[in-house]
Structure 1
């Protein structure tokens, strides 16, 4: 039995799809509600500010809104693209209940990545 040249790519795709584990092929992400909070520190009540990070050129701005009663200490982290440009980790800033805080930072040139970390306070 000889396969046509059109059927070979179709069979190859089917073999690859069947060989990939179901979890890897699935598009649903199984993450914690706030992935930056470690498992050992997680409690039953909801925690963590919702942060939106925007990069404009070499400047980074993050707005974090905390809808929960417990204070969340948020920190902005910036990784610069150039090897000589200094990466930065901002100091923790408390975001109280129903409070929105603005975090800013910058690189001299391009920004490679920026994210916000969360920590519980000892209130």
Structure 2
């Protein structure tokens, strides 16, 4: 009986340490090649309605951001979509759209500094 209690306590302690370590890990960021003190990157909202995808990206920073919409369709025969880069200038909002024939599998936005 004591062995199972000590094993349960050790398991809880290990789970707590691992959960704290996961929270301390850095999150993915846009690699700009510059010093980390300069903010960059448009904030994007994505809406999926059936098979259609609409994204609005607003750039609050002074440096332009070239954003692209990437759509991966759920069906193997359905063509995935990558839009052309659209430049979101300072204080500008851009709209990106795309679609699948059937269901949408996943959607994401990529960012790149404008040249």
For the aligned pair, the TM-score class normalised by the smaller chain equals 0.7 to 0.9
Deviation at 1:95, TM superposition (A): 0.5
CA-based RMSD of the aligned residues comes to: 2.7
Deviation at 1:45, TM superposition (A): 1.5
Distance 1:19 1:47 in 2: 33
Structure 1 residues 12, 56: closer, same or farther in 2, change over 3 A? farther
Distance 2:17 2:101 in 1: 46
**Unpaired runs of 5+ in structure 2?**
none
> Counterpart in 1 of 2:92?
99
Distance 1:29 1:88 in 2: 31
1:116 matched to 2:109: yes
**Unpaired runs of 5+ in structure 1?**
none
Distance 1:108 1:12 in 2: 51
> What is the DSSP-based 3-state SS (H/G/I as helix, E as strand, rest coil) of the residue aligned with 1:30?
coil
TM-score (norm 2): 0.81
TM-score (norm 1): 0.76
Deviation at 1:15, TM superposition (A): 6.0
Match 1:30 to one of 26, 29, 33: 26
Distance 2:71 2:47 in 1: 11
> How many residues matched?
114
Deviation at 1:8, TM superposition (A): 9.5
